[in-house]
Amino acid sequence: MDTMPTLWNSTKVAWLGWPASLMFVGPSQTMNMRLSVLEMAKEMMKKKMAWVALAMAMLLLLLLLTASPSSLFVASAAQQLPGLLQFSHNGRFKILQVADMHYANGAETACEDVLPNQFASCSDLNTTTFLNRMIEAEKPDLIVFTGDNIYGLDVKDPVISLNAAFAPAVNAKIPWAAVLGNHDQESTLTRAELMSHIVTMDYTLSRLNPDVASEFDHSDGQLFNNVDGYGNYNLEVAGAAGSELEKKSVLNLYFVDSGDYSTIPSLGGYGWIKASQQVWLKHVSEKLQVPLKSF
């Protein structure tokens, strides 16, 4: 029998986001590349190495012609992620859900609720080992982490703890997505900062919030600039390759930030899904129904 924190609980309900994260190199970094080449060319000219300076000038010209201010580089995770989540030919799409890991500081964090003779050898690493075994046994198409990924009150460095908690998914090179629970932010990072780190990790499909510029037209977009919480997004899964539904969204999964604690002094307890999130969810659902009705 495994001795480790429970991985599946029913405390938080959350769902999945698309597209995969990209890492952008902005205008300032592109300009720095150009200036660096120009400075090298000037130095070569001072030393009368005209032929080398000419080569550097040609390289500068190439950069000017090909590198626009919006130049982007795809992160290593996005390069290796599938371009589309879709059902297999046998009609299956397997999701491995992992909840309430309460990861803290690895081997330094002992397990709770185990037998007395198991405390000495049981730690966060048992959770990692068990998750690795589940991934190997189930071979999921997508791994979903649904909150309380780390236990903030015990965490020394939330970034290190997040990296360790999600390491099995990253190392398996399987697409994964996450939302926060009510304990993740109880360390030194806010919910916004935690999600901002998560979306940069390898192989993740997590998103900070809806991209109103691309998901909605101009008039609709005004409604969703202030969706409450962090980690509200949806993931679409297409039909099997070669089928009539190959490029159609046949399964839509939602991730919704259910918050941490109440912000109303007269009302204690945990947080809840806000009206702005409900409006966003309803709008996305309605937009996705249109293609299926016409099929």
Residue 143 and residue 260 share a domain: yes
Q: Is residue 268 part of a domain?
A: yes
Structural domain harbouring 47: 27-72
Question: How far lies 237's CA from each of 25, 141, 142, 225, 280, in Å?
Answer: 29, 11, 10, 25, 19
The enclosing domain of 148 has a CATH number of: 3.60.21.10
Mean pLDDT of the chain: 74
Does one domain contain both 268 and 145?
A: yes
For 258-282, what is the mean pLDDT?
91
> What whole-number distance in Å separates Cα of residue 191 and Cα of residue 188?
10
Residue 207 sits in the same domain as residue 127 = yes
Asked whether the beta carbons of 8 and 144 are under 8 A apart, the reply is no
Domain final residue pick, 13, 47, 72: 72
196 lies in some domain: yes
Within-domain flag for 7: no
Let me know whether 90 and 123 are in one domain. yes
Q: Is 262 helix (H, G, I), strand (E, B) or coil?
A: coil
**Per-residue pLDDT at 263:** 87
Could you tell me if 109 and 45 lie in one domain? no
Residue 138 forms part of a structural domain: yes
Question: Which are the contacts of 219, defined by CB distance < 8 A and separation ≥ 6?
Answer: none
Q: Structure pTM?
A: 0.69
Same domain, 60 and 106: no
> How many Å apart are CA 69 and CA 31, to the nearest integer?
8
Pairwise CA distance, residues 169 & 179, whole Å:
15
184 and 270 co-located in one domain: yes
pLDDT tens by residue, 169-199: 999 999 999 999 999 999 999 999 999 999 9
- Name the token pair of 267: 């009302």
pLDDT tens digits along 204-260: 999 999 875 545 544 454 555 689 999 999 999 999 999 988 888 889 999 999 999
